Amino acid sequence: MGGSCGLNIRRGKTFGPKKNDKVKGMLVSGPIKEGLPEMDLLDFKYDKFDANNVLYKEGVQHWPILLDRTSSIRVKKTDWQANRTVVAKDWNKNILVFTTEGGFFTLYNFGKFLKESNQRKDKGFNVHTAMNMDGGYEAEMMIKSDKINYLTYGKYETYGVNNNVSVLDARMDLPTILGIFSK
């Protein structure tokens, strides 16, 4: 395995650093213990996680938490706009995956977008917790099902309006791929 920034779980075995103070959450699936959700998004500010006693077969840690269950945006404002991939859990315990097609969002603005969505009369995406997975060229998504075929590559990064560092048609090797499959 390459240089993982946070702990990963594969088939119940952990790899990567057991401790990284920057890691704020973890997407997990395949519970080992009864009574746990099939898939969950943990926020380490509120949810317990013990790297020496994992309760799931699969998992990937990352940072930061964009929006938490108290509707707090937990990232600072910056000028860095990029394609984004974000995983979220809604208040009905569904897991949502977002990948933007453009470089409009800063992390803070993505958190604000989700918070404002929750404040709509219809509750919008109804997000409980949202965690950034990656941004820039690594923000990619592929969906292949009987009803949908979709592919997008991250291609935009800017550090403010007059500082575009985008490399169009760039393709990045991904050190980790997150796959979600129906049972």
Q: Structural domain of residue 14, as residue ranges?
A: 1-62
Is the distance from CB of 32 to CB of 57 less than 8 angstroms? Answer: yes
Looking at the fold, whether 18 and 38 belong to one and the same domain comes out as: yes
Looking at the fold, whether 104 and 24 belong to one and the same domain comes out as: no
- Rounded CA-CA distance 144/166 in Å is 27
Looking at the fold, whether 100 and 142 belong to one and the same domain comes out as: yes
- Rounded CA-CA distance 116/126 in Å is 10
- Rounded CA-CA distance 31/176 in Å is 21
Looking at the fold, whether 161 and 92 belong to one and the same domain comes out as: yes
142 confidence band (pLDDT: 50, 70, 90): confident
Looking at the fold, whether 50 and 68 belong to one and the same domain comes out as: no
Looking at the fold, whether 134 and 151 belong to one and the same domain comes out as: yes
Return the SS3 of 132.
strand
Residue 179 counted as domain residue? no
pLDDT value, residue 177: 65
Amino acid symbol at 63: W
Tell me the per-residue pLDDT of 3-60, one tens digit each, with 9 for 90 and over. Answer: 567 899 999 999 989 888 899 999 999 999 999 999 999 999 999 999 999 999 999 9
Tokens of 94: 């569904």
Looking at the fold, whether 57 and 127 belong to one and the same domain comes out as: no
Query: Smallest Cα–Cα separation from 37: which of 129, 102, 105, 99?
Result: 129
- Rounded CA-CA distance 73/127 in Å is 12
Looking at the fold, whether 68 and 57 belong to one and the same domain comes out as: no
**Domain tally, the chain:** 2
pTM, whole model, 2 decimals? Answer: 0.86
